[in-house]
Structure 1
Amino acid sequence: MELRHLRYFQAVAEERHFGRAADRLHMAQPPLSQQIRRLEEELGVTLLRRSTRKVELTAAGDAYLGRVRGILAAVDEAGEEAHRIDAGLEGRLVVGCVGSATYSLLPALARALREELPGVDFAFRGEMLVPDLADALRSGVIDLALLRPPLDDAALSLRLLRRERLIVALPEGHRLASRERVRLADLEQEELVVHAGRGRSVMYDAVVQLCRGAGFEPRVRHEVAETSTLVTFVAAGLGVALVPEPVAALGVAGATYRPLVGRHARVDLAAATRADDDAAALARTLEVLEAQVAAGAR
């Protein structure tokens, strides 16, 4: 038995006429009749009562028709689903983000993805550190990471999204809050709140390198894993922080922000994927992501 036999039977059963069914199937009537006979012989039941004037379904044939319709509909739906997945219009995709991207990019990106790819089931994980994002990518827990390079791993692919200026987060009323701009040297005596160190955060390494480049060793008072916690600590007066400019969108009461003097005080934001992931839904997601970044730049 093949699917074509089921389609032949469905056409005859619905037309109640071999000639009309043959026309519908774009085939001659004799081979159609022969195939229906073979189907009945294989099943061992009579599906159709034939006369010179009409064709009628037996009780077994009527029951069989209901099942055949369900089978053929499922086969057609499976084919359509496969085409949608192949075109990147359906599937499931998990996006992970570093802290600043969670607040500055993720909200607009999530809205755009719902509009552009409504058939794709998206899930999001925010406030992740770069090593955790890389591990999640490799293990397949997430499919796309918005993170900060460098990321030295041949199994992962990176594409730069944008360069972000660093700014200074200060408690309201801080002595530096009255200035229009802050120099790195102004932070030499300040206690800093930074992202987790010991290789767990790219931002930690960036802050340390900037301070050392300005001629002093940073005085780290608190290390935190989440950007929201970092800004909350600053607002509480527990220290100051160097953060990417989009963090200012977080809007924590008690914290204020000032530009940092220096052209080199910047960090990159990149999209990371598994190098061998060629899923069409991922490719479409990256297109939407890059369009959102470009719109934000404009």
Structure 2
Amino acid sequence: MLQRKPLQSGRFTVEIRWLEAFIAVAEELHFGRAAARLRLAQSPLSQTIRKLEKELGATLFDRSTRSVALTPAGQAFLPHAHRVFEELELAQQATRATSGVVYGTVAIGFSGALNHLTLPPLTRAVRQRYPNISLSLTGRVMTRGGVEQLEQGALDIAFVGLPIDPSPVRTRRVGREPLGAALPIDHPLAGETAIDLADLAEDGFITIPAAAGSSLQELATQACVKAGFRPRVVQEITDPYMILTLVSAGVGVALMPAGISDIMPSASVFVPLRGEQTHMEHALAWLDDNPSPVTRAVLELAEEVLPHPAD
């Protein structure tokens, strides 16, 4: 637990431990679980929350014998409480950086199998060069969600597909792969060295849901329309590797970037497409105004270890 240092303003004084207690109860919505998380008895925790409410002049929780819920005042106060701890973390990072030690946590979002050529080199390099950096990795993050989480501060870095909608988020391309067909091994075209996309017009497709905001889903649909048909979707799933698994199970076919050919599951094959290629472009995304020196260190390392693909 953090030391009990007060935060003062012209009107009130709040101890850091009060904010820590508030955040724990707000996230658990249960005083017993929050007390266990903070290694406190429940009674002192309740007293701490009451002190905070008295100092703020507002009730933060609706309490009953069966449930705990944030009041509107509590909901409004929560992001500011989180911000205090974020600023303390940034202060620790900054002071350690002056002595040459890079220390802290970087939150990275990625989609899963689509990033198997770019995420591992980066995380491995971070571990080797900056052993005091902790990486918080979140999978199944599609492009739209990654951009939104960067803007909200929930992520520091995200692997996304290009292009993205207009946004304060900055991007740097790290991969460019042509789309190809993932087919069950018993598909009539599975033995071909290359096929026309129009040859799959009658097949059922496995895709990421359109509502998920995936660049791959948008590119795959555009490629099919360009080939003269709209894909008949038989299954939607957000995990790219599960798409390959369902292809292997014979559920349908899918369009995937060529790099996926290295990790195809058994009973499935990757077949390149003939003709004009549709490319998926992978990128790192971040906010320029992110003040974290740790995030900057990881981005600088990414410049060294991740590709700079040509057009």
The answer, yes or no, to whether TM exceeds 0.5 is yes
**Counterpart position of 1:97:** 110
1:120 paired with 2:104, answer no
**Counterpart position of 2:162:** 149
Shift of 1:85: 6.4
Q: Aligned partners of 1:165, 1:262: CA distance in 2, in Å?
A: 11
- Match of 1:122, SS state, is strand
| Structure 1 stretches lacking a partner, 5+ long | 1-77
1:214 paired with 2:227, answer yes
**Counterpart position of 2:264:** 251
User: Mapping of 1:102-251 within 5 angstroms?
Assistant: 102-198=115-211, 200-251=213-264
1:288 paired with 2:301, answer yes
- Match of 1:207, SS state, is helix
- For 1:130, the aligned partner's letter is T
Task: Compare CA radii of gyration and give the structure with the larger one.
Answer: 1
User: Mapping of 1:56-95 within 5 angstroms?
Assistant: 82-84=95-97, 89-95=102-108
Shift of 1:135: 2.2
CA RMSD of aligned residues (A): 2.5
Q: Aligned partners of 1:86, 1:130: CA distance in 2, in Å?
A: 36
Shift of 1:101: 3.8
Change (3 A) 1:120 1:275: same
**Counterpart position of 2:32:** none
Change (3 A) 1:86 1:94: farther
- For 1:255, the aligned partner's letter is S
Q: Aligned partners of 1:88, 1:158: CA distance in 2, in Å?
A: 27
**Counterpart position of 2:21:** none
Q: Aligned partners of 1:228, 1:80: CA distance in 2, in Å?
A: 36
Shift of 1:275: 3.0
- For 2:171, the aligned partner's letter is L
Q: Aligned partners of 2:286, 2:260: CA distance in 1, in Å?
A: 24
Shift of 1:212: 0.9
Report how many residues are paired: 220
Shift of 1:295: 9.2
Conservation of the 8 A alpha-carbon contact between 2:142 and 2:213: yes
CA deviation string 1:159-200 (max 9, x = no partner): 222211212111112111110012111111111111111362
Conservation of the 8 A alpha-carbon contact between 1:148 and 1:202: yes
Q: Aligned partners of 2:290, 2:266: CA distance in 1, in Å?
A: 42
| Structure 2 stretches lacking a partner, 5+ long | 1-90
Change (3 A) 1:173 1:86: farther
Shift of 1:205: 1.3
- Match of 1:225, SS state, is coil
Which has a greater percent of helix? 1
Q: Aligned partners of 1:141, 1:277: CA distance in 2, in Å?
A: 11
Q: Aligned partners of 1:122, 1:85: CA distance in 2, in Å?
A: 21
Change (3 A) 1:81 1:218: closer
Tell me the TM-score normalized by structure 2: 0.64
